[in-house]
Chains A and B, each alone.
Chain A
Amino acid sequence: MSAALTLWVKGMGLWAPGIADWSQFCDVVRGNATPGEVTRPLADALPPNERRRAPESVLLAAAAAGQAVTMSGRSAADLPCVFVSGHGDQTITDYMCETLATAPTELSPIRFHNSVHNAPAGYWTIATHCHAASSAVSAADFSFGAGLLEAATLAVADDRDVLFVAYDIAGTGLLGEMTRSTGAFAASLVLSPHEEPGAIRVDVSLVAGNIAAGPGDVSVLAPIARSNPSALGLPLMEALARGAPQAVRIAAAGNLDLHVDMESLR
């Protein structure tokens, strides 16, 4: 096992079908509620005109990110950010490939510039006036773990708080059969290298092998955990929602797991 990266989780955000935010998620995890009606992700960090025209992936990522940043009490403008997605905006990829197959010169310029994998990072940094480093990464089914590792190393190496966002939307069209993504999910954390009262300490290390179990312990969340690559991070988010000491394994690459040791919330 590698030396551990020690971090404090200062903010958390989440959107899943029927779970609009972190506090609803906590209620579901603690058995006090079940997922309700599916609502549109509330991306209130984006200005209203951007909220209207932003693609689904951007709204979803910004909704989760906004919750985590608000909880952290930090200003988004100062936070470097790492956005990870297994498949990016599959609706736009499907549109692009369909259009290119039939009428390539009619490709929409707006859809093209929204098709870049870093569209959520771009919209987010523009909306929050963030000039810090922003990244957009991908790692297929290892995306949540690989993105978390990128965010955690950035926080420790640069000694500053970092925003981590994982998101994936449902697959569409011919592509959907390949990605097997059946629903949308986003989760976000503000990670800090500095201790703070109320923040949850996590120690992250690399371990050879993939023993990360499938879904976590909450049965109503099991279908969501299987719905897309980002949702494979649910066991970690469930553990954070419980706030009890626990160890979680999250796959970060082929034959490589993140081992996350979590302290109890004081």
Chain B
Amino acid sequence: MPPLAIRAFTATSALGRGVDAHAAALAASQTGLRRNDFSSAPLDCWIGRVDGLENEPLPDDFTSWDCRNNRLAWAGLAQDNFMDAVRTARETYGASRVAVLLGTSTSSIGATEEGYRRKEDGRLPRDMAFANLHTPHSLAGFVATAMELEGPCITVATACSSSAKVFATAERLIRLGLVDAAVVGGVDTLCDSVLFGFNSLELVSPEPCRPFDAARRGISIGEAAGFALLERIEAAPDAPRFVGYGESSDAHHMSTPHPEGLGAELALNDALARAGLSPTDIDYINLHGTASLKNDEVEAALVTRRFRESTRASSTKGFTGHTLGAAGILEAVITLLAMRDSQVPANIHADTPDPQCGPQMAWTREQRPVRVALSNSFGFGGNNACLAFAAAERLA
């Protein structure tokens, strides 16, 4: 595929607001996880929470969109001059030539949950009775409205691969000449649906998640917002590049991955082929690494069998928790920071590495150039995505 320029990117998660907060935490190998203090009856687990959203209602113009997920979207858009970059794109190309393509797993459902808790006479309370709040599209609908964009606008909701797949949609729209730029990304927030839902599947760890540890006990759920602005490379020749993507389906099971990682490997092969890369070109892989028993087993085996020993690989979910539909963009941003700062993030919390893991695993932070990198995202329903990024100079 023709590479695309990543004109601007940003992330907000338990590690803080904006890319510098993320870079600092990654440099210090400092987790953002905390003991669960979310909801009225918190489960005994650890979470990655963004502070302050409770006290940050959306501006008055956007009252009908006001919920935790859209507040996090708004907080995320405000970092790293991202809104200015979007404004410039809108002025350069026109509102209908900029797409808004965002991923989420639960969108604004936290608001619907609250409405049910506070129901009045068998109806949602009047202050929450807005159609915009009770639909999966609340996220992209809000961002398009707030950014005054009128191009193609969709919410992708393929569970934990959602905000990786939006990069693929953007590439197709730009390559076919339907738009000139795309705001991609995703937002997911803590809510009872995911905390009690993953708890019901016995996938939530009682301790901070330990990706690729032999004694890992499950996931820690987190929340995050992340965005990237994609344009043709001629428009931003020095920006880092989005160079490839792969998408596939496991066709195996709704909530457990294919035992041999078939779908994950198909996504990897697709991404490498579109990027014109071979596994030996890859300096770093940000792994899906949820700390669930099955995911890490399958993913570790895939990395061990497909990559050279000097390729570095780590999961950063020990820092942020599993941010579900936002994981794709959050980890894409972390991957771009690894390239920017020549720093491989540590795979923290793995005291006793799983024996399936190969020499590629970066158990501690490493300072080294990262010019070509991958980010894996695998979701429920066997929905897989793999993204490839490269520094501008590599392809110059």
Give chain A's interface residues, CB within 8 Å of chain B. 2-3, 5, 80, 85-88, 93, 96-98, 100-101, 104-105, 107-109, 112-119, 121-123, 125-126, 128-140, 142-143, 146-147, 149-150, 153-154, 156-158, 174-175, 177-180, 206, 208, 252-256
Contact check, A137 vs B152: say whether CB atoms are below 8 A apart: no
User: Is A97 a contact partner of B249 (Cβ separation < 8 A)?
Assistant: no
Q: Is the CB of A174 within 8 A of B122?
A: yes
Q: Which residues of B contact A (CB under 8 A)?
A: 41, 95-96, 105, 109, 112-113, 115-117, 119, 122-124, 129-137, 140-141, 144-145, 150-159, 165, 168-169, 171-173, 175-178, 192-193, 196-202, 247-255, 262-263, 266, 379-383
Closest to A258 in B: B152
13 new A-B contacts, CB < 8 A, other than A125-B249, A135-B247, are A87-B135, A100-B117, A104-B196, A117-B157, A117-B158, A118-B380, A126-B253, A131-B250, A134-B381, A134-B383, A150-B154, A255-B96, A256-B151
Q: Is the Cβ of B154 less than 8 Å from the Cβ of A96?
A: no
> Which residues of chain A are within 8 angstroms of B198 by Cβ–Cβ distance?
112
A123 to chain B, nearest CB (A): 7
Give complex CA distance A157, B177 in Å.
11
**B251→A146 contact, CB < 8 A:** no
Contacts of B197 in A (CB 8 A): 96, 107, 109, 112, 115
Which single member of B96, B178, B192, B382 contacts A126 (CB below 8 Å)? B382
Whether A131 pairs with B176 at a CB distance below 8 angstroms is no
Identify A123's interface contact among B150, B158, B254, CB under 8 A.
B254
Q: Is the pair A138, B136 in contact by a Cβ cutoff of 8 Å?
A: yes
Is A136 within 8 A of B200, CB to CB? no
Q: Considering the complex, give the chain B residue whose CB is closest to the CB of A145.
A: B152
State whether A206 and B96 are in contact (beta carbons under 8 Å apart), knowing that A112-B197, A123-B254, A256-B151 are contacts in the complex: yes
Q: Do B155 and A108 touch across chains, with their CB atoms under 8 A apart?
A: no
What are 6 pairs between A and B in contact, CB < 8 Å? A3-B177, A93-B112, A116-B379, A122-B380, A131-B251, A177-B129
Please indicate the chain B residues that have their CB under 8 angstroms from the CB of A137 in the complex: 154-157
Q: How far is the CA of A147 from the CA of B156 in the complex (A)?
A: 10
The CA of A105 and the CA of B195, in the complex, are separated in Å by 10
Residues of A within 8 A of B152 (CB): 146, 149, 206, 252-253, 256
Residue from B116, B124, B171, B254 in contact with A113 in the complex, judged by beta carbons closer than 8 Å = B254
Top 4 closest A-B pairs, CB basis? A122-B381, A117-B157, A133-B247, A112-B197
Q: Which of B136, B154, B169, B252 contacts A87 (CB 8 A)?
A: B136
Are the C-beta atoms of A135 and B172 separated by less than 8 Å? no
Q: List B contacts of A143 (CB < 8 A).
A: 137
CA distance A101 to B255 in the complex (A): 24
A168 to chain B, nearest CB (A): 11
A174-B115 CB under 8 A given contacts A118-B157, A139-B137, A140-B137: yes
- From known contacts A133-B247, A149-B152, infer whether A122 and B157 are also in contact, taking CB-CB under 8 Å: no
- A residues in contact with B175, CB < 8 Å: 157
A5 contact set on B, CB distance < 8 A: 176
Q: Is the CB of A253 within 8 A of B196?
A: no
| A112 to B109 Cα, complex, angstroms | 13
Complex contact A121–B151 (CB within 8 A): no
By a CB distance below 8 angstroms, the chain B residues around A105 are 196, 199
CA distance A255 to B144 in the complex (A): 11
Nearest-CB distance from B201 to chain A (Å)? 5
Chain B: which residue is nearest A126 at the CB level?
B251
- Our pick among A88, A130, A177 for the contact of B124 (Cβ within 8 Å) is A177
| Docked-complex contact B178 and A206, CB < 8 angstroms | yes
The smallest C-beta distance from A95 to any residue of chain B, in angstroms, reads 10
By beta carbon, the residue of chain B nearest A119 is: B381
Chain A residues near B200 (CB-CB < 8 A): 107-109, 112
Can you name the residue of chain A whose Cβ is closest to the Cβ of B107?
Answer: A138
The complex places the Cα of A53 from the Cα of B178 at a distance, in Å, of: 41
Please determine whether A2 and B178 come into contact, CB atoms closer than 8 angstroms: yes
Residues of A within 8 A of B105 (CB): 116-117
Across the interface, which residues of A come within 8 angstroms of B177, CB to CB? 2-3
A86 to B107, CA, bound (A): 13
- The smallest C-beta distance from A98 to any residue of chain B, in angstroms, reads 6
User: Given A150-B169, A153-B173, are A97 and B113 also a contact pair (CB < 8 Å)?
Assistant: yes
- Answer whether A179 and B153 are a contact pair too, CB < 8 Å, given A93-B109, A122-B383, A157-B172: no
Q: How far apart sit A107 and B115, CA to CA, in the bound complex (Å)?
A: 18
Residues of A within 8 A of B383 (CB): 118, 121-122, 134-136
Contact status of A112 and B201, CB under 8 A, knowing A93-B109, A157-B175: yes
Residue among B136, B247, B266, B383 with the highest chain A CB neighbour number at 10 A: B136
A132 touches B253 (CB 8 A): no
Q: Which of B144, B145, B156 meets A135, CB within 8 Å?
A: B156
A134 — which chain B residues lie within 8 A by C-beta? Answer: 158, 247, 249, 381, 383
Residue on B with the closest CB to A103? B196
Cβ contacts under 8 Å, B248 to chain A: 131-133
Give complex CA distance A5, B152 in Å.
15
Q: How far is the CA of A15 from the CA of B266 in the complex (A)?
A: 33
Q: How far is A5 from B131 in the complex, measured between Cα atoms in Å?
A: 33
CB pair A135 B193 closer than 8 Å: no
A138 in contact with B157 given A118-B380, A179-B131, A206-B96 (CB within 8 Å): yes
- Which chain A residue has the least Cβ–Cβ distance from B385? A133
Which residues on B sit within 8 Å (CB–CB) of A139?
137, 140-141, 153-155
Query: CB distance A130 to B176 under 8 Å?
Result: no
Q: How far is the CA of A253 from the CA of B99 in the complex (A)?
A: 10
- Please name the residue on chain A nearest to B198 by beta carbon: A112
CB distance from A159 to the nearest CB of B (A): 11
Residues of A within 8 A of B41 (CB): 104
Residues of A within 8 A of B130 (CB): 178
